[in-house]
Structure 1
Amino acid sequence: MTMTTTPPASQLDIAGDLLALLADTTTEPRPDVQLEALTLSVAADLPVLLWGEPGIGKTAALTQLAAALDLPLTTVIASVHEPSDFSGLPVVGDDPAVQGVPMAPPDWAVRLVRAGRGLLFLDELSTAPPAVQAALLRLVLERRIGALQLPPGVRIVAAANPRSSAADGWELSPPLANRFVHLQWTHDHDVVVRGLGGTWPRAALPQLGSGGLADAVALARRAVCGFLTARPGLVHQLPTNEARRGGAWPSPRSWDMTLRLVAFATAAGSSREVLSLLVRGTVGDGPGLELLAWLDRMDLPDPEVLLADPAGAELPERGDLRQAVLDGVVAAVRERPERSRWDAAWALLVRALETGAPDLVVVPATTLASLRRDDWDVPAAVERLAGVVTMSRRADRAASRVADRKAAR
């Protein structure tokens, strides 16, 4: 009887087992502002560009996103390709004079079309030379490579390092930069530590409530159109600085992307922080923050409604919004000064004093007092506000004296 023995495992086999154990990680649902902004942009079918230092986890995030969304991932290193790889290679047929010369797409594009869906990851975008960036314009905007049209199920995400940390880096051309949603990718200490321990956050598409889609679109259109009506100079504003031209800046194209993202974020019930990343990533920090402030003011209650029922008025919790509401109420009384409206405004200020920070009523109370007519009796509510106003003025005078002493030294 012949005995067979199993040969001992080689060191490479043991190393393979160890690598398999290290790669055995799990995911968990975890709030992540960056990841939510990325998935919302992907859901909105907008090209996204992740900016971050080398090794920050951009590629890992895209790999995990593709796995979570069950999309095949196709990675293309933009900087190692020729322009013809994105515009198509000319193929001479039997009779070019009659049939023309078709532009053959690369194999990765053909695979994406066959699959009908996928996540196209354009890596190292900031190291692609200008000629390659120019060839990418049609791919990013029209989803065409040569004569091939990518199917609607394909999403495009790119990654880039800042020029200061990119190998032979280039600034992005303004036409290419203006086609992306720009998201700054940074690391979260807790996420990294927990991930190295074997558990990474899970990416998931936003939960869009089907019942509120029309309202979300209406809000987005009203917000963006109203804002641009008030700020026409921001419809198109090409930065003068070369570096800023390679980022997010306002144009009709990027405002269209902003409108779409506001609608998606509203339908998904996303936080203000996520919405801030999205709008600043399309039109830039300045215009984006102005739009956010405009959205806040859109949600403020109508001063006339508050004056009609001061006892039942609900004031915003946030201090800056509450201040804006009180200022609006006083402005409404100034425009149409009537005794009943003046009394109602005092009642609102008392309500604000009882439910929020006292210092927020100082300026509105002082302005409202200056609107009094000679035949209007001072309401009893003023007595409750007088102490706050007096204390605030004393504090201001004390601060002024301290500043004067410091200046005299």
Structure 2
Amino acid sequence: MTAVTIARASTLLEHYINKDMPVFLWGDVGIGKSDSVAAVASKHDADLLDIRLSMFDPVDLRGLPTIQNGETIWLKPAIWPKDECKPTFLFFDEFDRASPAVQSAALQIVLNRRIGEHKLPDNVRIIAAGNGSTDRVGTQRTSAAGNNRFAHVQAEPDLDSWRRWAATSGLHPMVIAFVSFRPELLHKRSDKHDKSFPTPRSWASVAEFADAPETIRMDLVTGLIGQGAAAEFEGFVRVFKNLPSLDAVIADPTGSRVPKDPAARYAITAGLAVKATMQNFQNIITYLERLPQEFSVLGVVDACRRDESLTHTSTYTQWAVDHQDVTL
């Protein structure tokens, strides 16, 4: 199937959910599938029942048997939705890592909205996710009959969606700047047998150590994204650390030095985007306008993604008019 960006996948997911169609979200590890489901659930004010199906046995879905009045009945499992009024997402994550028996039990729920005597309330929507052929080990084939019970969406990472998420999540500006500078490292599987490699998820972890002491930072980052990417990131951090003071740039936007190195330009643009406020936005734009247009656009867009109120300023309105050829 044709792959779509993770942002587009979220939009498709919403449409399927609105029509009460079970949907299966496919994609490589670490691209944000689970986060996307959680974000859609939050948008719909829905409870999210996150079930890592690979950790379950069939009895975990059906419940344990007991004897009542000489008959065997099945106790309702604790994972079963309890609120029959509030919107609820039943999320079968790691579906293709589950055993065939567990997949079969889950598919009974998908097809019939029930398993045994337990019936899903009408307020429940069903979502599944898996890695499929993008993962090299540990996955199970899903049956044609099972596949036919879902709408399928193949997602892939994209820089714009990740930068939008990173800006609103308060990710360290060094990480945002580096990935913007080296977008091919947003998600890159190693050709070797390395256990660590860059993914959108692992970059979020790298951000936790961006300010770690220089004596240990590279080793910490290597453990998250592998040696090659970590070496590049370390070099970029040193460029970032040698930038002019961001506060000094904001205080004197026309007199502060403008770096010529592309990496330094990405770095200072990301740093200023994080610093932007209603009070200093004009000075930041004044400085960004001294850079090539792509950096001006990058900095203003990132600043406004982080703080949407900036788009309501006269400063932004004038900038948007001046750059309507690239912002419309």
TM-score range, shorter chain: 0.3 to 0.5
Which structure shows the bigger proportion of residues in helix conformation? 1
Larger Rg computed on CA atoms: 1
